[in-house]
Amino acid sequence: MDPGTSNYDYTEGASAIEISEAWSNSHHSRRDSQHSLAYHDQQGTMFDGPGHSVVPTSISRMSIDRPRSRRRSEDSQASRPPASRRRSSDMTNSSSQIPDDSALEEDIVGEQVPLRRGRRSPSPRKTGMFGGIVNLFGRDTGGDASSSRRRTSISQHSRTSSARLWGRHSEAGSQAGSDMESEGDDRWGYSSGEEDEPSDAGDTAHDKSPVLSERAFSSYPPSPTPSTSLPLLSGDQLFGNETRLDIDLEPLDPPPPGPPSRQTIYLADEDVTLRFVGYDVLRCHSWAWRLACVFSLGMVGLLGHWFPRIWLRCVAREKAFKELTSGFIVIESTLRDISFFPVRRIAYPYRASTVFAGFSVPMKANGNGALLNNAEDLLLENLLLVDHRYDKFALDPNSGLFSAVKDWRDHGWTGVGSVKSGLEEPMRHQRLTLFGPNIIDIEGKSAISLLVDEVIHPFYVFQIASIILWSLDDYYYYAFCIALISAVSIITTLIDTRKTISRMRELSRFTCPVSVFVDGLWLERDSSDLVPGDVINLTEPPLSVVPADMILLSGDAIVNESMLTGESVPVSKIPVKDEDLVRWREIPDVQGDVAKSFLYSGTKVVRIRKSVGSAESPFDRPALGLVTRTGFTTTKGSLVRSMLFPKPIGFKFYRDSIRFIMVLSGIAGLGFCASAVQFIKLGIRWHTILIRALDLITVVVPPALPATLSIGTSFALSRLRRSGIFCISPNRINVAGKINVCCFDKTGTLTEDGLDILGVRALDRHSDTRFGELLDNVYDLPGSIGREKATFIYALATCHQLKVVNGEVIGDPLDVKMFQFTKWMIEEGHVAGTGMIRGRGPGEGEARPAALVQTIVRPPGSAQFKIEDALRGGAKHAHFLEFGVIRTFEFVSQLRRMSVVVKRLRSTSMEIYVKGAPEVMADICDKNSFPDDYDDLLSYYTKRGYRVIAIAGKSVEGLSWLKAQRMKREQAESNLRFLGLIIFENKLKPGTAPAIQALRSAHLPCRMITGDNPLTAVSVAQECNLISQTAHVFAPAFVQGSVMTPLAKLSWSCMDDPAWKLDDYSLKPLTPPTHYSVDADMVDYQDYVLVITGDVFRWMINNAPLETLQRMLARCQIFARMSPDEKNEVVERLQAIGYTVLMCGDGANDCAALKAADVGLSLSEAEASVAAPFTSKTPDIGCVLEVIKEGRAALVTSFSCFKYMALYSLIQFTTITLLYSFASSLGDFQFLYIDLFVIIPIAVSMGRTLPYPWIHPKRPTASLVSRNVLTSIIGQIVITSAVQFWAFFWVRSQPWYLPTKPNTGSDDNHLQATNYENTVLFLLSCFQYILVAAVFSIGPPYRKPMWTNGLLMLFLVTLSLFNISVLVAPTKFVSAVLELMPIPVSARLTLLWVGVINVAVSVSFERWVAQPVADVIGIFLSRHEGRRRIKESRIYRAVDNRE
């Protein structure tokens, strides 16, 4: 049969006007909720192409409508704007009228868990290591939990913490029906007006009634203990409070009277709160500041640059936004990061509604009364704009407040018909003025600007000041070498920065020619000229990449969105419906059904097809797209901005390092005070004393210290990149070193992406009361039983949502495997046949094209017959069969099933087939159709790790095409007959079991978070050893009430022996039943795990006592049947009880969880994905081991380098202080040799040590002030200082010693360096610099042994040999250059032995003494701070008595 000439009418029984009306009403056809599979469709219409669309839940996060206790109910927020928590215009103006915290928090009974984490706050303007250093140097980012404001609950946070893509509305009902046609049988749901209202079906589990919401908020089961909570986290030891909690913005003085001058804006896509404050510069103050800068040689200007608040207080004053002329806006984040942004005033002779026509948001001003929400549509002359990190904010002249330009929506978009005519040129010019060009163009700074930014960094300012000081002190050689090194470093940094910016511009900048409909004509323009509202032709010229965010108006598209999600399965898009286009005006971001038609900027086009022809023209119509967002406001722009401005992690190590530097500076001050007294006694000139004081600071605080902090991270990044693991947030690498729980998705992560069919179990041929044998050949499947037309083989061939692109069948891997098993053929779209539908009379609208079927399937061999032959044959033989899929109800994660309406060629009936989870079939199938051994067989396969899909179907006589379009989903999916089971093998990936075993050996808890059946999940977990084979697995079930009953009761039963229960409050095993095979005293009550499903998880969050919820989170290892929204919530709940969470997934439907985790790792082929900070090209969880090992190695390297640099400075400080006692110092070349040839090579090469091959059970510390670290540093300081003091006094007691007179009368500032004390201290200290490097080069258990670092060993050995030669037998040249005094050979040998003893004592102390001393200190402190330490312990340890 020639498929192209197929003219069979699948609309049999429907008149032309009925079909036309059905097409018109198809825009009201409801789609069920969001999807958990990446390639499913639920579109009910069959027009303009195959009518298939897929919105992966990885892109649009699901928000399940359910009553939420411990959070605001959906209805309790009815007075608020519908998307206030999501839009960046959700803002309140800061004032003295501070709302009560209780108005901002949720009703939480007894819950005190810190629920917000400041790690999602924006980065400082100066990113990178040095930027973080100066930011911390300038102000403390820490904060107490008591001073931290908690925003909503963690459940609510799960809806706002992700990127701008994570918003999705869930509708669990069906809106099929027609508001124009009322004929038909009521049993098909043909009642008039059904499509205007969502069906109540499926919403019984999501009751939104105020009564229920009130009950959900107030009816928690009481805690049986007086205390409603266990010891909670007051501050995390790793991150400090700035990481787990939001930090309040710094309080300001009362605002000036008048219009608003302050405003807080919550940017949900970045999960950060910003404060805008308007300032104007005072001219006289500005000139005074400039004069002060001149007279202070720029020091005042540098202080103002480093500490902007000083400049603000001196030069500017707060001023209302409206009154700003040439002022600026100060934008401050919750991390106390402060940035200045000038205001731009542009000519804008347009109406205010063209900028501020978004939905209104409640606002408050400076205590001056309420502001107008519905602004009067004024004709503007000018527009005040502020550009914040490529995000535009415009000042509303009515309210006097800023709103995000990206939130504007065109309220003229009332339907497809209202936008298809495109824009006129004047309106395009207006929108181009407002939104700017459609190009993601990263601003590139000039070399001079980059140079200035780099030079005025505190690190380089300190370097320059040191070089000037050394030059004044006649250390010319040393100053020149350090200046040369600094210049090379600056130039290298500039080159790297320009390369990075250039590479980012190449990746982000994209333009292509597009055909735009302007003024009624198709014009070819560059894509950079696009503005919101433009209508473009997607097929001519052909597109390879989507140039802007747009909505599909006609045609159909298949795109690859791996750039966004990491999901490689192509995603199908369908034309938008009128109501969805209207909904787009009212929602902050892509949600619900809108996402089914949304094309994201930067995604690759797999296929775009035209729409079928119209009555006037038999030719195909072009596929049209409506531009909605351009430039940096697009999804791709959001990804680029997240890479340019990564969210910082408030890592405690960096904060402690700054404090440690301050302590070193204090030590320098004390040392100088002691030396100054001696200088005065010796009669040293005052300017020499001043220079010596400054020089001592450069000794104690080495200029190269900040640079050493990033060495470990840099080497770890390069090693990860070579392993195929890419990172867009380098500051997460050190966080990976503190991971203490690993969460994994199952399918595609632990198991293979593609499933293999083990076989099918249909009903027995001779009896429908039991299953037949397992069949692995499709030809062995039985045909219809009795007169039933719905058969298993037809269900396998039709119940899917596959597409054909270039002859290749694409779609969900499960669907592909199932269809390939049938060996049938598939056609779709235009090939399957199209028709013209005309109205009955004039004026009833244009003729509408319709694809008669979505897809057609045929058995093998039928394509060679013509359709006439098939009709004559009566379709009795398989090779004449042809099935058309008339309608599809998409897979819904809440319903856990999908269904199709199918018509067989020349049949008088239609069949309905349903595919879904076996557990849901009992609700929609006839009970008598199930075989007797259904439960036993299902349990047999699921317990062995197989994935089981159930198939059901029914035949409906007399069902016409029109009636099928109006059928409601709950009508189609009812009274079905069970047909059989499909058994899929979910094979483990080869690397899964070894990786899990390695993690468990390291005592790292592992969690599985999956949407699969709990029995299958348990089996896979046992197979990969995620849970022990001997562990007792307990699962919950409702014994009273249901998930919608707040006072319901759960019973936790052992899956192997349901009679064995857990205590429903403490979740601890009760005494085993008497028939239990093992004696009660032999049962390991700690060897048990919990498995929980999504519905029970939601109920426990809403209604369970806090202690029970916390213990469930600590004990549960398998979270099954979890939606994407629930996966995200699991991660955040684990974080709330103190875990540092790693989440690994394939990026399909777990993007929200990947972004919420402390370390998110996506298994994807993309180098950078918005899905997670880490992306691995190797689709294996072995990359988790690499990330953890590299994280620990980087963290330990940072500690080693910092400790080494601290000891180096203190060793040199001791030397200098002793020499200062008689007005001496080290020589120029001595300084040069130590810093250039000893310190720098060793410090750099220390970071090259590779991570240890195995993960140690104990995590490394992340605090410089921990007792272990301080014990080590202080101990080594004591040892090295003692050796130097001995040498100083020893040399003075020798008979060959000659004292040196201080040069007090010289006019220069140079102290004498040629003396015996100098020689002895210099020779010994050179050994100490090397031995400290060896002592602090920590090897196992986090890094490989020091000797494996070839470069470090080369430097250590070479320098040691050179130092020995200089000590024992120096040449005349070396002695002259280093200004060494001749000393006897016996004295040299004595110093050599002392050096050896110093090495032995230091190594012995570090290896055998430091840890016991630290333990003793810990025991002593615990006696005095026991209660405090309990409060600071992590909740998961408090609730789990194993730890």
Residues serving a catalytic function are: 745
Q: Which two tokens stand for residue 59?
A: 């892109």
Q: Which two tokens stand for residue 980?
A: 């059989």
Q: What are phi and psi of 1145, to 5 degrees?
A: -150, 175
**Angle of CA points 884, 890, 894, to nearest 5°:** 150
Q: Are 199 and 175 in contact (CB under 8 A)?
A: yes
Q: What are phi and psi of 110, to 5 degrees?
A: 70, 10
H or E stretch covering 386? strand 382-388
Rounded to an integer, what distance in angstroms lies between the CA atom of residue 1327 and that of residue 1395?
6
Nearest in space to 854 (alpha carbons), one of 1428, 255, 1397, 49: 49
Q: Are 554 and 576 in contact (CB under 8 A)?
A: no
Rounded to an integer, what distance in angstroms lies between the CA atom of residue 1013 and that of residue 1010?
8
Residue 1350: HSE in the Cβ half-sphere, 13 Å Cα cutoff: 0
Does the N-terminal peptide bond of residue 1341 adopt cis geometry, omega within 30 degrees of 0? yes
**Angle of CA points 1220, 1225, 1229, to nearest 5°:** 165
Q: Which two tokens stand for residue 203?
A: 């919403």
Q: Are 1295 and 1229 in contact (CB under 8 A)?
A: no
Pairing of strands 604-609, 741-744: unpaired
Q: Are 981 and 951 in contact (CB under 8 A)?
A: yes
Q: Are 1185 and 1242 in contact (CB under 8 A)?
A: no
H or E stretch covering 1194? helix 1182-1220
Q: Which amino acid belongs to residue 178?
A: S
Rounded to an integer, what distance in angstroms lies between the CA atom of residue 1377 and that of residue 1389?
22
Please give the C-alpha separations between residue 1399 and each of 579, 859, 1336, 1360, in angstroms, as whole numbers.
78, 82, 12, 12
Q: Are 1394 and 1283 in contact (CB under 8 A)?
A: yes
Rounded to an integer, what distance in angstroms lies between the CA atom of residue 1000 and that of residue 337?
40
Q: Which amino acid belongs to residue 616?
A: E
Specify the residue for token string 């020639």. 2
Rounded to an integer, what distance in angstroms lies between the CA atom of residue 538 and that of residue 64?
34
Q: Which amino acid belongs to residue 1326?
A: C
Nearest in space to 175 (alpha carbons), one of 41, 23, 31, 55: 31
Pairing of strands 1116-1120, 1006-1009: parallel
- For helices 1124-1136 and 1094-1103, angle between their N-to-C axes, nearest 10 degrees: 50
Rounded to an integer, what distance in angstroms lies between the CA atom of residue 90 and that of residue 72?
17
Q: Which amino acid belongs to residue 1171?
A: A
Contacts of 38 (CB under 8 A, 6+ apart): 54, 56, 57, 58, 567, 569, 571, 812, 1148, 1149
Q: What is the CA radius of gyration of the chain?
A: 36
Residue 1293: HSE in the Cβ half-sphere, 13 Å Cα cutoff: 6
Output the CA torsion 266→270→274→280 (10° steps).
-120
Measured over the CA atoms of residue 368, residue 370, residue 371 and residue 372, the dihedral's sign is negative
Measured over the CA atoms of residue 1434, residue 1439, residue 1441 and residue 1443, the dihedral's sign is negative
Rounded to an integer, what distance in angstroms lies between the CA atom of residue 1093 and that of residue 1098?
9
